[in-house]
Amino acid sequence: MRRLPSRRHAVLERARQWAQAVKRDVIALYIAARDPRVPWYAKALAMAIAAYALSPIDLIPDFIPVLGYLDDLVIVPAGILLVVWLIPAPLMAEFRAQAVDIRDRPRSRVAAAVIVILWITAAVLLIWWLWPTRAI
């Protein structure tokens, strides 16, 4: 006999789908901010919301209980709603489709590893070059 999904499971599934939609819309806003068909004020707001969502810097740091995550749960979705309201619906549908294509592209872990190794190498060389040497 198949077990029906619990209420908790359904809530978690809806939250997961909502988070994926927010992620898709952030990418769509980034695309919209670079498109010449979007009005300048919508571009500016779209870039600001995308930058805030993708930035590691928050208005309220995440280590502050409840409030740290509350800004991410309120500011980003509210900003997305405002920008979506400012952009014509056919354009937004196009940007969302492009965002899904970008999100579904394969990612190269080898390329990411090469970039990380280059950054670490550059940091080590910079420290070595700037480290004071003692002449004895």
Is the sign of the CA dihedral 2, 7, 9, 10 positive or negative? positive
**What does the pLDDT read at residue 122?**
93
**What does the pLDDT read at residue 3?**
59
CB atoms inside a 10 Å sphere around CB 49 = 25
Tell me the C-alpha distance between 45 and 29, whole Å.
9
pLDDT digits (tens, 9 = 90+) for 6-26: 777 888 888 889 888 888 999
pLDDT confidence tier of residue 2, bands split at 50, 70 and 90: low
| Burial (Cβ within 10 Å: 0-12, 13-18, ≥19) of residue 8 | exposed
**What does the pLDDT read at residue 105?**
79
Rg of the chain (C-alpha set): 21
Mean pLDDT (whole number) for 57-71: 75
For the chain, the structural domain boundaries read 7-106
Q: Which two structure tokens, joined as six digits, stand for 17?
A: 């789908």
